[in-house]
Structure formats: structure tokens, C-alpha cells
């Protein structure tokens, strides 16, 4: 090939060979979650295809891996130098940053299209470490027809009081319909959603923040009153008998398919599975989906409070050998246009800025209802596991996510265990 180039033959084939000899194509590896969520998977695939078309010197080897498996593999790979150039991560995995495995993105990604509140989830010492694609709020989904069938009318405020929600649970049990679809078989957080969203509204953002910071005891009378109410729901039979073993994906199917449930507390990334086709585990066409506000205690300090959080984000491995291409890919993802496409295609909030007027979505009615439930709210940023660390996080997972909503421990025992692990005063 060197001889052909030197003699300057004008043949097209020779020019192609010379060009190929001089060009160096870098292959970057990328691990993403969402193998079973078609809209999110399709969004990622489109961004990679667009990037490759515009950057001929870069190629992307993309793999979709279930989150639990991805984390297991990434935890090992970062320590052996075998991690992908880019991989999926959420802010509740701080050990990757603390151990120096993440590359600062300040010199790679223009943050102009990233929401300030989403950026804050990934900032440390003046640097930011991820492109936050996915954001969510905590929602209370419900089956309109089943709730009406058991004789409960959802008011125009879309919010039941604590006593009215208790009545809904009782009527569901009497009708042999599961009141709350929930499962913790493969996740450390779902069992605490109803309790902690209710604690947020009862305490207000400031004191709830103190609770998560270990500055407020779980024996506080306001905390105990909410825990006592949730314990009553558990004792009434609010959760499925398979609560402790049911996987997250199965709890979706349980709610909108078989056997069916009245309500489903879940982050708004519910849409990723729900809006898949029915043959892929999604909702049937015409399912009577509604969104309530979470119930509140009579003396709630902040009925309008609500959790907002960042989820699926993409980081760069600090030992990547292809940082130019990896950084260029991440930068190409962080645009207002991509944020707009995400909201429209996935029917979910994003950490990227977006243009509401440009959204084109087959799920427009759902997005309108989601936006209505998020109008005039006061956001608290971060779920418990984004605040808890170490032994405290482990205790939350064991007690508040599992044992307490499963009815295995009392209010007093749960409070004592949380205080022993989390309370700092």
C-alpha cells in the first residue's frame, strides 16, 4: 500500500486504500440500562447512530444490560481497568466517584443544555461527572375503573386524605382486589415510597431533609404518626402476598394486567415499561390509567411537596483510552433537541432542557396529566437512598423497604433500628 501511495496512482481504489491507511478509527464501548424498555433503548440507539454518522473517526460498541447486572459488572470492571468508556449510572452509586473511577466532564461536555437541578446531582468540587438523561417524580398511579368499582370517588384535587386512602385500601381488600401493587424482590427502594412521600408532606421539606440527614429522630411524634398509619394499611392487607419476592417489572404487570391492583406508587419512569406494546409487557390499549396526588395527613405541613430526582445518567470511565470520542459522544447527547425528543418519545422528564412547544408524543394525554399533577408543587430533591449512606442505607433497605411494609416489624422496632443506624444526635 505504501508503494501505491508513493507512485501517485490516480485509481479510485488506491485513494480509498491510502485514506484508510491514514485514518485512525477509535472504537468506544458503551453500557446502557433499559434492555426491556423499548422507547429508552430506541432513544439511545438513535443518539449513537447520529453520532457515528457525524463522527466517522469514532465507532461505538453499544450494549444494553439490566441495571443490577450492569452495576455488578461495572463494579468489577472499573477496578481491573476493563470498564467501558461510557456507562450508565445513577446518583445513588456515589462509590464510583469517591473511588476516582469517573472522569470530570467539564472539558468534554457543554452544560448549557443540562438543567441546573439535574447538574447538582453530579457535581463535586466544581466538577460535574455525568450527563443526566433521565429524571422523575414520585407518582401514585391508579386504575380509574377499579377505584370507581370499589366505590371511591377521587376528588377534583386528585388527593385523598389519609383516612380516605385507608378506606380505599379496605374496600379493595373486601372486593378481593389488591390495593397497592408493589414488590421489592430486586430493588432496594419501592417499599419505602408510600411511607417516605407521606413523611415529606407531613414534615415539610426542611424537617424531612433533617430526617434524611440524621438530624431528626424516627421517634418524632409526626414521624411515628405516619408510620402508624402505614402500618395500619399493611395490616389491612394493602400489599400483595408476594411483596417480598415480586420484582419491579412484575409489579408493573401486576398493576395494569394480571391480577390487577387499585394503585401503584412508582417513579414516573413507569412509562418506560407501561408504554411498551402489550406483547412486550406494556399496558393494553385503553387501560384506564390515572394519576393521583399522594394522600396526606390532616396536619401535613406541606401537602404540595413532592420528590424530584435524577436517575439514568451516563459517565465516562477515568481510565478510558478513548476520551476524545467518548467525550464527543456525551457532548452530542446533551442538547435541547435531544431532551425534547426524550420527553416526547419516552413520556418522561429529563435532566436535559427541552422545548415544551416542540414535543411530539403519542402519549400527549398522559404527559398532560403528569404535568397537571406537577403543577404548583414544591420539589424536594432526591430519594432516601440518594441521601443515606453506609449502614443507614443498608438499614433503610432492610427495614423500610422490606421488613416494615411486609408487616414483619412494629413501628417502634422500625423506628429504633433506623435511629440506631441513622440518627446522629
* pLDDT at res. 24: 86
Spatial contact of 78 and 96, defined as CB atoms under 8 Å apart: yes
- According to CATH, the topology of domain 137-308+376-422 is D-Maltodextrin-Binding Protein; domain 2 (3.40.190)
pLDDT range class, residue 5, cuts 50, 70, 90? very low
Round to whole Å and give the CA distance between 172 and 143. Answer: 12
Instruction: Kindly report the pTM of this predicted structure.
Output: 0.91
CB burial readout 321-348, b (16+ within 10 A) else e: ebbebbbbbbbbbbbeebbbbbbbbbbb
Round to whole Å and give the CA distance between 290 and 271. Answer: 13
CA dihedral in degrees (99, 100, 105, 108; nearest 10)?
Answer: -150
Angle between helices 38-54 and 336-346 (to 10 degrees): 150
Query: Cα angle at 253 between 252 and 254, to 5 degrees?
Result: 90
Question: What CATH number was assigned to the domain covering residues 24-134+311-354?
Answer: 3.40.190.10
- Enumerate the CATH 3.40.190.10 domain ranges in the chain, comma separated: 24-134+311-354, 137-308+376-422
Nearest to 383 by CA among 174, 149, 212, 131: 212
Helix (H) or strand (E) run with residue 306 in it = strand 305-310
Give tens-digit pLDDT for 271-307.
Answer: 999 999 999 899 999 999 999 999 999 999 999 999 9
Round to whole Å and give the CA distance between 13 and 420. Answer: 74
* pLDDT at res. 425: 81
Give tens-digit pLDDT for 99-137.
Answer: 999 999 999 999 999 999 999 999 999 999 999 999 999
Helix (H) or strand (E) run with residue 233 in it = helix 221-236
Give tens-digit pLDDT for 50-63.
Answer: 999 999 999 999 99
**φ/ψ (deg, to 5) at 293:** -80, 150
More confident residue, 18 or 354: 354
Average pLDDT of the chain, as a whole number: 94
More confident residue, 16 or 416: 416
Amino acid at each position: 500500500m505504501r508503494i501505491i501511495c508513493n507512485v501517485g496512482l490516480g485509481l479510485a481504489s488506491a485513494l480509498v486504500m491510502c485514506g484508510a491507511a491514514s485514518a485512525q478509527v477509535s472504537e468506544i464501548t458503551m453500557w446502557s440500562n433499559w434492555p426491556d424498555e423499548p422507547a429508552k433503548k430506541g432513544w439511545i440507539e438513535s443518539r449513537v447512530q447520529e453520532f457515528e454518522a457525524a463522527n466517522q473517526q469514532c465507532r461505538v460498541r453499544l450494549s444494553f444490560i439490566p441495571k443490577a447486572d450492569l452495576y455488578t459488572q461495572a463494579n468489577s470492571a472499573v477496578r481491573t481497568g476493563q470498564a467501558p468508556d461510557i456507562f450508565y449510572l445513577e446518583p445513588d452509586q456515589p462509590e464510583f466517584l469517591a473511588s476516582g473511577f469517573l472522569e470530570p466532564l467539564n472539558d468534554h461536555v457543554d452544560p448549557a443544555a443540562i438543567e441546573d437541578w439535574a447538574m447538582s446531582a453530579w457535581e463535586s468540587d466544581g466538577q460535574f461527572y455525568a450527563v443526566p438523561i433521565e429524571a422523575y417524580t414520585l407518582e401514585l398511579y391508579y386504575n380509574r375503573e377499579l377505584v370507581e368499582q370499589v366505590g371511591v370517588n377521587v376528588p377534583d384535587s386528585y388527593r385523598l386524605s389519609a383516612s380516605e386512602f385507608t378506606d380505599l385500601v379496605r374496600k379493595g381488600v373486601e372486593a378481593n382486589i389488591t390495593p397497592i401493587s408493589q414488590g421489592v424482590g430486586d430493588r432496594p427502594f419501592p417499599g419505602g415510597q408510600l411511607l417516605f412521600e407521606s413523611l415529606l408532606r407531613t414534615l415539610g421539606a426542611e424537617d424531612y431533609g433533617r430526617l434524611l440527614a440524621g438530624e431528626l429522630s424516627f421517634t418524632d411524634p409526626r414521624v411515628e404518626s405516619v408510620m402508624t398509619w402505614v402500618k395500619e394499611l399493611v395490616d389491612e392487607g394493602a400489599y400483595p402476598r408476594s411483596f417480598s419476592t415480586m420484582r419491579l417489572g412484575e409489579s408493573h404487570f401486576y398493576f395494569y394486567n394480571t391480577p390487577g391492583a387499585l394503585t401503584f406508587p412508582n417513579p414516573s419512569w413507569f412509562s418506560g415499561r407501561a408504554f411498551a406494546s402489550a406483547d412486550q409487557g406494556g399496558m393494553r390499549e385503553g387501560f384506564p390509567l390515572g394519576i393521583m396526588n399522594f394522600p396526606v395527613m390532616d396536619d401535613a405541613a406541606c401537602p404540595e411537596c413532592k420528590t424530584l430526582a435524577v436517575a439514568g445518567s451516563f459517565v465516562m470511565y477515568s481510565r478510558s483510552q478513548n476520551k476524545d470520542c467518548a467525550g464527543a459522544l456525551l457532548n452530542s447527547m446533551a442538547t435541547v433537541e435531544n431532551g425534547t425528543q426524550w420527553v416526547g418519545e419516552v413520556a418522561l422528564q429529563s435532566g436535559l432542557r427541552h422545548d415544551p412547544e416542540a414535543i411530539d408524543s403519542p402519549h400527549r394525554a398522559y404527559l398532560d396529566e403528569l404535568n397537571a399533577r406537577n403543577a404548583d408543587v414544591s420539589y424536594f430533591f432526591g430519594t432516601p437512598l440518594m441521601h443515606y449512606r453506609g449502614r443507614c442505607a443498608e438499614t433503610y433497605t432492610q427495614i423500610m423497604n422490606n421488613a416494615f411494609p411486609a408487616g414483619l416489624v412494629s413501628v417502634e422496632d422500625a423506628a429504633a433500628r433506623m435511629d440506631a443506624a441513622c440518627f446522629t444526635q
